[in-house]
Amino acid sequence: MTSRGSGEERGKMKGIRELAEHLDISIGTVSRALNGKPDVNEETRKRVLEAAESLGYVANQSGRALRKGATGVIGFMMQTGSEITGQGDTFFMSVFDGVQTVFARHKLDLVALLCSSEEDPNDYLKRVVARGFADGIILSATRRHDARFELLAKRRIPFITLGRSLTDVGQPWLDLDFEGMAEASIDRLVARGHKHIAVTRPHDDMNLGYVFEDQCRATLARHGLRLDERHVFRSTPNEAGGYQIACELSALDARPTAIVLINEAITVGLYRGLVEAGIMPGRDMAIIGRQSPHSQFLSPRLTSFSLSLRDLGIALAESLLATMPAFADYYPARSERFLWPMALVPGESD
Amino acid sequence: MTSRGSGEERGKMKGIRELAEHLDISIGTVSRALNGKPDVNEETRKRVLEAAESLGYVANQSGRALRKGATGVIGFMMQTGSEITGQGDTFFMSVFDGVQTVFARHKLDLVALLCSSEEDPNDYLKRVVARGFADGIILSATRRHDARFELLAKRRIPFITLGRSLTDVGQPWLDLDFEGMAEASIDRLVARGHKHIAVTRPHDDMNLGYVFEDQCRATLARHGLRLDERHVFRSTPNEAGGYQIACELSALDARPTAIVLINEAITVGLYRGLVEAGIMPGRDMAIIGRQSPHSQFLSPRLTSFSLSLRDLGIALAESLLATMPAFADYYPARSERFLWPMALVPGESD
DNA sequence: TTGGCTTCCGTAAACGTTTACGATACTATG
DNA sequence: CATAGTATCGTAAACGTTTACGGAAGCCAA
């Protein structure tokens, strides 16, 4: 027993070496004890665990990652700046919570990799993965063509995307069922007698915009209707964009009688713009959108498509782990691709 | 020159050793070249940089962090789950963007440390810092008493908090000027003849709730008025909470004529609840709140306190770096504490 | 020529873990 | 008693960097 006297619980633990000396055990045994290896006496394991607890020792991340070749970290890449993704904080926070319930079972940590709006997302991702920061990556806000896919595939980093893309490297993906949303929306509106239906989509090349518009067009065609090109509104995914759409809409001579919103962040602005133009949502203009924290508190209440973001996160996490060899015994290997269904919540806006 | 033929640009770079062999230079020189050390020939430095670029080599994070004792990562701790933080949709994303413009100058990376709603925040933080994950931490959503402060102080991790607390370990902090907001709001409402003013605050022990309520009370007292205990509304920081407040409000026999909202995420729900109760915002009830992406698109437009979240992020980052010895030559050492002013943007709701 | 200075580069030792391997003591079996 | 087997633990070699140190040139002045 090396004499260290007291000194417990104060300051920082130096490392496993100090812990080992404190216990008068070799560092190898300490490590094995902490990592649950079988070849260590149960009594000494208990001693080690207790000492680690009381001294506040936790294995250093860098040392462990260097040796094991894995960091135990999964990164969720997202872009900062307010109006990039069009998804609010609460959207991702809910998804994260689902992801973490899965990760917690495997001692994995989820961190959000924040790409500045001033940096090219491809460069950022390249930097992050080359540094070996995370064992796996979750991508969101997928674009029509997305070079990030190829980058991760080339480096053989396990990853999954929340969203599809024309770029396809065989990775698993999950995406919201925008086709189903488009179809259900159009069907519902047509059934209510609407013949001139407008749609919105992001101003940039987010993939979901193409998927959504195409399916709306196809569904309208099935009803013998067509999508007027002037009724496709592109906007930034925020309230200002929604307001802008309302302005353009009201200025039209051949005004549609209904509109389907692919993005939930534009709803309040759209409502406001319509009201200012004397167009009463739900009466003069039918609106179907996406559920958001406020959608049920608008007047009239928004008819919207909802989904369990938490469950989505769970599915996302499990699909990712299924592609990682280290978790092959927990999740059968597969490369899943799944359209996540959304449920129509009737409101008074259509 | 070791014969490697081609094989460039494909797959992953093994490490600095392979890069060095490729160049027929020692790894020490390669490292020095990449890190901008002075004692390396400019021509060889150019060769190294070009080779690294073309081979896609980036120094491994774990190895570098282990050797240098610093990770180059700053963590912003936040809690997942939808209704924890109570900040609106894009609040953090905007702050992050400001933080990153500062960090980019020092090759620091910002990541969001996501604490699951199922894990104790103190345990989470302890785990993160003990692992040596980040060189510095930014804390938000500070509570009345916040053990996280003591934990970080004990381990001597540089950190700053976005928000104050009764727990004070001498760290720098930035906080929104809720005192100023309370004072300006009350003054304005009293000047307009209101005598019965209600306030909102979070349902939990977030510190800002105490600060805000106290200052409202003090300012009312200055005008010879008092804050009715029944006019202090606690709610979850989301739209449902706002709706709930409206319900409680309308059920009151002695109804206030004005209300000040400390949280921006409850506004839409409150509007809705008031309207349903036949109370017209801006006419029957004066409302002053916080700016959010939708506040300007509500009817009537919300009179709100706004601030530049991006600038806030910049200040936050600079104050943090000022406490880190490694950046002492860029930012003069100081332990700053700063109330961030908010500007009143008149709307039609009061 | 000698010595000192500068410029450049190679060598090797850390950093804190994990783990393959071997060593020891003990138990069971013949 | 000899041997094999088992339980437990110590030793040391990795993992990929960075950096202190020293050495080998080249240059210049004395």
pLDDT digits (tens, 9 = 90+) for A31-77: 999 999 999 999 999 999 999 999 989 999 999 999 999 999 999 99
DSSP strand pairing (A109-115 vs B109-115): antiparallel
Residues 6+ apart with CB under 8 A from B192: B286, B350
A117 touches chain B (CB under 8 A): yes
Rounded to whole angstroms, the Cα distance separating B81 from B180 reads 30
Quote the CA–CA distance of A79 and B88 in Å, as a whole number.
17
For chain B, list residues with pLDDT below 70. 1-13, 82-89, 335
Crossing angle for the helix pair A309-322 and A89-104, nearest 10 degrees? 50
The residue among B60 and A11 whose pLDDT is bigger is B60
3-state secondary structure of A123: helix
Q: Chain B within 8 Å of A27 (Cβ-Cβ)?
A: no
Q: Could you count the other beta carbons within 10 Å of the beta carbon of residue A188?
A: 18
| pLDDT at A313 (0 to 100) | 96
Q: Is B52 on the interface with A (CB under 8 A)?
A: no
Q: What is the pLDDT of residue B87?
A: 58
A41 CA → C30 C1’, Å: 29
Bases on strand D under 7 Å from any protein CB: 7-12, 14-20, 22
Nearest to A60 by CA among A17, A8, A104, A107: A17
Give the amino acid at B249. L
Q: For residue B83, give both structure tokens.
A: 């209704």
DSSP tag of B285 = B
Q: What is the mean pLDDT of residues A170-197?
A: 96
Predicted pLDDT at B90:
83
Each residue's pLDDT tens digit, A254-285 = 899 999 999 999 999 999 999 999 999 999 99
Q: Please give the residue that has the higher pLDDT: either A332 or B335.
A: A332
Considering just the CA atoms, what is the radius of gyration of chain A in Å?
A: 26
Task: State how beta strands B286-290 and B303-306 pair.
Answer: parallel
Residues B283 and B67 sit within 8 Å (Cβ to Cβ): no
Whose C1' is closest to the CA of A13: which nucleotide?
Answer: C16
Average of per-residue pLDDT across A89-115: 93
Determine contact, residues B28/A37, Cβ cutoff 8 Å: no
CA-CA distance, B160 to B172, in Å (whole number)? 5
B94 contacts in chain A (CB < 8 Å): 80-82
Look over chain A and give the mean of its residue pLDDT values, rounded to a whole number: 91
Q: Which of A117, A265, A269 sits opposite B97 (nearest CB)?
A: A117
Question: At residue A243, does pLDDT exceed 70?
Answer: yes
